[in-house]
Amino acid sequence: MFFLDSSDPKDILDLFAWGVLSGVTTNPLIIAREAGAVDLGERIRDVVRVSAGHVSVELTAETEAVMIEEALGYHAWAPDRICIKVPFNEVGLRVNHALVQRGIPTNVTCLMSFNQAYLAALSGATYVSIFSGRVRDMGYDVRPVIAETRAQLDREGLRARIIVGSIRHFMDVNEALSAGAHVVTVPPGILRKMLHNPKTDETILEFNTAWANRGK
């Protein structure tokens, strides 16, 4: 399953027309890069309008009470669509558990290890987001993290689904899915690169040229 890692309504509308996407993830860095000082509520409502499935919106507050208040505000924008993205730490686990008890879907994010992903899953997260590229930046292979997390979720029957993000190459997508990710959240540029193979382009051109030249 693929989510789109973007906050750009134009890209989201275009790529959802392919019929291969099941949700959207955003984060403060993506929104700052793509939209600058845009009103967050307006931007997320536009994303919801042109997409389907969960739209993850990340908390930026750092204290428990304010994070919960922030989460409730975001969730109210589209209660059937908004998934609250909770940064992983001790406060984040408490916030995640409180939101889960209210029936609000959550995505615990910035996970780099099996231990973190397992704790997030135990706290009731809808999604646990493992950051592939950033794990590799530390010099580690992310595939065992994904595989061990998937095995433990399946073994205990935990409801959490693994999202693998921080995707930098389309081979990261293949490896994440092979290792057991339920979802890979893919930037628009990577998703478009997945379309192309020189032999495919060559073959289509050969067929179309043969048809155009028939009877000549």
Catalytic residues: 85
Cα distances from 74 to residues 39, 40, 57, 60, 125, in angstroms, run: 13, 9, 7, 11, 17
CA atoms within 13 A on the CB side of 61: 15
CA angle in degrees (0–180, nearest 5) for 29-138-194: 60
How far are the Cα atoms of 74, 84, 100, 110, 180 from residue 68, in angstroms, in the given order? 10, 10, 11, 18, 31
The CB density around residue 48, as the number of other CB atoms within 10 Å, is 21
Q: Round to whole Å and give the CA distance between 66 and 200.
A: 52
- Residue for token pair 């922030």: 70
- Return the SS3 of 69: helix
CA dist., res. 185 & res. 53, Å (int): 13
126 CB neighbour count, 10 Å cutoff: 21
